[in-house]
Chain A
Amino acid sequence: MIRSLRTAATGMYAQEMVVDVISNNLANLNTTGFKKSKVEFQDLLYQTIQNPGASTNGSAAPTSEIQIGHGTKPVSVLKIFSQGDVSPTDNPLDLAIDGEGFFKVQMPDGRITYTRDGTFKISADGRLVTSDGYVLDPEISLPENTTGVNISSEGVISAQVVGETEPEVLGQIELAKFVNPAGLKNIGRNLFEETGASGAPQYGTPDSDGFGRVLQGYIETSNVDVVQEMVNMIVAQRAYEINSKAIKTSEEMLTMANNLKR
């Protein structure tokens, strides 16, 4: 009886976590390159009550036994890397990836992190950087007097410079992709880090085997689907409610047991 109170409480806790994750998804509805998450659960350990007189000899036929579970636990929060919609921005330094690749970004300490957020800026020293000032890897520097930047779907960057008739090729964007992107670690600021679960990155050029095209002048919106999240929220809320009913039933039964003798 007391056990069922605790069991139902794990159910309520689990649904709370679902709502937390849904809230984060909805909060990032308009975050560029955001990838939604979902919580996954497993059941907890079971207590096996052997019936008295049941055979403990392994070769005998299965005897009746009672297995009582202790509820549920969250095992992971999984990121889902489905493609978000691309929307035009008219900013030549906004890039979206249509495919599985990630932009490589160099952190101040030299580590490489990965992002789907291609809203790049030009730093004071002319390099292509993210909104937080982290440098795009491999590094691209724009010459002074640049009047226009063109980025092809294969990721070749060329600049139109004052006094030159031909555009000057500055470099090539390199993308990374992962066997299991769901294993990447979220480190905030739209950045991901590789982990053992994600596998090592494979590098390649855009518009080749699965890395995806680079679209200049577009951003990738978040892949959060409001209707889906709302449905999930209703499911979580109802599951929360029904677990509270289980607590209430257990509590009523305890009260009845207490009232056996008045």
Chain B
Amino acid sequence: MIRGLYISAAGMLPQDMEQEVAANNLANINTTGYKKDAVHFKRLLDERLSLDSLHGGESDVSNSEETLINFSQGELQPTDVKTDLAIDGDGFFSIETPDGVRFTRDGNFTLNEENQLVTKSGNPVLGESGPIQLFDGDFEVKQNGDIFQNGNLVDRLSIVTFPRPLPLKKAGEGLFELTVPSIHPQESEHFTVQQGFLEGSNVNAISEMVKMITIDKSFQAGQKAIQAQNETLGKLINQTARY
């Protein structure tokens, strides 16, 4: 009986987290280069439900799920801005931040006072040999990431990828960081860089809505189960005593 209460509660707690993840996906439905998260559940193992582990409900539950990033391609939207770049295919731009190199799909760049290509937060975008230093004047980015000015090759964007599954986690501001620092990025081969385009968010409103309805209803089911068990428990305690 008491065990049933714990099981129902354990079923309700992850829904809470799922709702938080769905809310964040929806908040970022128009964020450039955003990749949606999904909560991945592992079933609670039966041995976890042995009597001696019942009082540690929460840690049992949090061990049962992880968030996975869905790296599917977002749609490319034309912007006609020279400093906007989008990757079509596999790979990430490399960005130099004060905390080390980070990776992003958000090619919403600009130029700083020294004519370097930087992110909107002012962090340099990396080329073959460090930050990309441009000269005054027009520049063109080819599909393979080569950057030309006045017909001369200036630098090449560092578009990198990693062994699957991608060892990346989110660092905010559209950036991803390595989960395992020892992994070295490798040059990506299957991509084109599109100048004057940005990659939209890959969040799909319909599937997130469906997810939210499911979350809502499972949460309700858990609630009903707890209420029912509470009533049964009440009957047991209050009515058994009468005999």
Contacts and interface: CB of A to CB of B under 8 A. Distances in A.
Interface of A: 1, 3-5, 7-8, 10-11, 14-15, 18, 38, 40-46, 48-49, 51-53, 58-62, 64-72, 75-76, 78, 80, 82, 179-180, 182-183, 196-200, 202, 210, 235-236, 238-239, 242-243, 245-247, 249-250, 252-253, 256-257, 259-262
B215 interface: yes
A68 B169 CA distance: 11
A84 B83 CA distance: 20
Contacts, number: 215
A257 B223 contact: yes
B30 A182 contact: no
Given A40-B108, A179-B115, A62 B28 contact: no
Contact of B227 (A14, A183, A242, A262): A262
B53 interface: no
Contacts of A58: 180-182
Q: Chain B interface: which size bin?
A: 35 or more
Nearest to A261: B230
B111 A68 contact: no
Contacts of B111: 179-180, 183, 197-199
Interface in B221-239: 223, 226-227, 230
A256 B169 contact: no
B110 A43 contact: no
A38 to B, nearest CB: 8
Nearest to B165: A62
Contacts of A197: 110-113
A165 B119 CA distance: 58
A252 B230 CA distance: 21
Contacts of B12: 257
A14 B169 CA distance: 24
B63 A10 contact: no
A37 to B, nearest CB: 11
A242 B31 contact: no
A42 B30 contact: no
A59 B174 CA distance: 25
A246 B230 CA distance: 29
Contacts of A7: 20, 23-24, 27
A69 B20 CA distance: 8
Interface in B108-143: 108, 110-113, 115, 120-121, 134, 136-139
Contacts of B171: 45-46
Contacts of B21: 68-69
B32 A202 contact: no
A64 B83 CA distance: 36
Query: 6 nearest interchain CB pairs?
Result: A11-B27, A64-B66, A69-B24, A196-B113, A4-B23, A45-B172
A20 B177 CA distance: 34
- In this complex, the member of B21, B67, B80 whose beta carbon has the largest number of chain A beta carbons within 10 angstroms is B67
Given A46-B170, A58-B180, A72 B112 contact: no
Contacts of A45: 171-172
Contact of A180 (B59, B82, B108): B82
A67 B23 CA distance: 13
A126 B219 CA distance: 77
Contacts of B209: 242, 245
Contact of A179 (B81, B137, B165, B179): B137
16 contacts: A7-B27, A8-B26, A15-B30, A40-B108, A42-B120, A51-B62, A65-B169, A66-B62, A68-B67, A71-B23, A75-B108, A179-B137, A253-B215, A256-B220, A260-B223, A260-B230
